[in-house]
Amino acid sequence: MKLWTGRLGKETARAADDFNASIAVDSRLARADIAGSLAHAEMLTRQGVLTAADGEAIREGLEGILAGLESGALAVDMGAEDVHTFVEAELTRRIGEAGKRLHTGRSRNDQVATDLRLYLREQCGEICKLLGDFIDVLHRQGGANAGAILPGYTHLQRAQPVLFAQHMLAYEEMFARDIGRIRDAQRRMNVCPLGSGALAGTGYPIDRAFTAQALGFDGFTVSTLDGVSDRDFCMELAAALSIVMVHLSRLSEELILWCSWEFKFIELDDAYTTGSSIMPQKKNPDLAELIRGKSGRVFGDLMGLLAMMKGLPLAYNKDMQEDKEAIFDAFDTVRACLEAAIPMAETMKILPGNMRAAAAGGFINATDCADYLVGKGLPFREAYGVVGALVAACLADGSTLETLPLERYREASALFDDDIYAYIALEACAARRRK
Ligand code: ARG
């Protein structure tokens, strides 16, 4: 059944139908679509646009469809044009005449905008829950390895000692900001476009506040033209999800480096690694690599949405049907990545001995050594020069700031005393900065 055969003189070509259809992508909106229709029909009944009997038949019919979909007794008809067409056709098949009255005062344009907001609202909740779980895992790993010190890096060169827990905390803060960004977009999205009609509203005496409230929206959109053609929420969410992927990808990169033989700061659990088909010794961090790789597709989803929207005149244009594939993919990808990252991070083993050994090389306490002299009254720039020369001397004879004899320190500056060794101990350096 087609919703729009009225004016056209011919059947559409099969290829045109196939190209036009979105059911393969939007069938997942079925629950949201039925919820929207239930609210719309109840509102029409209360407003006297539908009779009580028709309203009741529509409600029962829609609830039956929902129950059928949920139990599996009813399958979405993949031959339908889209999910809205499917639900309306199924309703009419079940209840007859009354089903044909459901679409009064409504268009698929405001319907799809409503469905999408309802569906994505739920998705936001799921992603935020996973992000919260991930933050907890990182926090527990930091706490369980409270004493572990590793070299902090800038330019991927050993820089200053940091606690492993501080390193985890950095990611915890990134993911906490991600939750904030998603919640913020969700709040802005939570207004109901239903009642915008095709673009210019409707002449029926509808009650937009009622449907908005029945569907759990905070209010309804004011401009009907914008109501049907706004996809800011898709772009905002895709942007927020892209940033989640940036963070996941950076952490993945770090874990990939850390489990290499060159670093060996961590050991990933065998259950979350893979082997090689030819090299028997290999243990590969495939999950982390895939997460890093999948970040690209979420950025692509965002770019696709921006490019799709940028030249569109008001109001609804069919281009916008492309929004769903992109935004669904972004949510699906982020969910899959978090579901892989959580147990991988939870089961990884920290190797504090190797972290400590790496921290002991590379003169990462040189800044503290200079700070020691500053504490004795030397201007920092001069202290910097003194310690730079000491590091060069150490490099020349294979010693370190920890093993350099006090006479050598004193030759460089009379301000050094033997408390320098306690001052530049890695634990002391890390503790001094933990504020
Ligand atoms: N399948 C369409 C979409 O996802 C629904 C809206 C269609 N409206 C229209 N006038 N063709 O955007």
Residue 195 Cα to ligand 1 middle (Å): 16
Number of the ligand 1 atom closest to the C-alpha atom of 82: 1
Gap between the Cα atoms of 192 and 180, Å rounded:
22
Residue 18 Cα to ligand 1 middle (Å): 14
Q: Is 260 a catalytic residue?
A: no
Per-residue confidence (pLDDT) for residue 6, from 0 to 100: 75
Probe residue for ligand 1, chosen from 3, 22, 29 as the CB with the greatest number of ligand atoms within 8 Å? 22
Per-residue confidence (pLDDT) for residue 3, from 0 to 100: 74
Residue of 139, 223, 276, 413 marked catalytic: 276
Probe residue for ligand 1, chosen from 88, 109, 117, 231 as the CB with the greatest number of ligand atoms within 8 Å? 109
Per-residue confidence (pLDDT) for residue 431, from 0 to 100: 87
Per-residue confidence (pLDDT) for residue 148, from 0 to 100: 96
Closest CA to 112 of 238, 27, 186: 27
Q: Of all protein residues, whose CA lies closest to atom 11 belonging to ligand 1? A: 318
Q: Residue 56: how many CB atoms within 10 A of its CB?
A: 15
Per-residue confidence (pLDDT) for residue 432, from 0 to 100: 86
Per-residue confidence (pLDDT) for residue 38, from 0 to 100: 98
Residue 181 Cα to ligand 1 middle (Å): 28
Residue 85 Cα to ligand 1 middle (Å): 10
Probe residue for ligand 1, chosen from 4, 81, 108 as the CB with the greatest number of ligand atoms within 8 Å? 108
Residue 108 Cα to ligand 1 middle (Å): 6
Q: Is 252 a catalytic residue?
A: no
Sites in the chain below the pLDDT cut of 70: 1, 434-435
Per-residue confidence (pLDDT) for residue 153, from 0 to 100: 96
Number of the ligand 1 atom closest to the C-alpha atom of 320: 12
Gap between the Cα atoms of 291 and 295, Å rounded:
6
Gap between the Cα atoms of 344 and 433, Å rounded:
30
Q: Which residues contact 106 (CB under 8 A, 6 or more apart)?
A: 40, 194, 197, 202
What angle separates helix 108-144 from helix 164-189, to the nearest 10 degrees?
Answer: 160
Show the ligand 1 pocket: residues with CB < 6 angstroms.
Answer: 22, 26, 82, 108-109, 112, 316, 318, 320-321
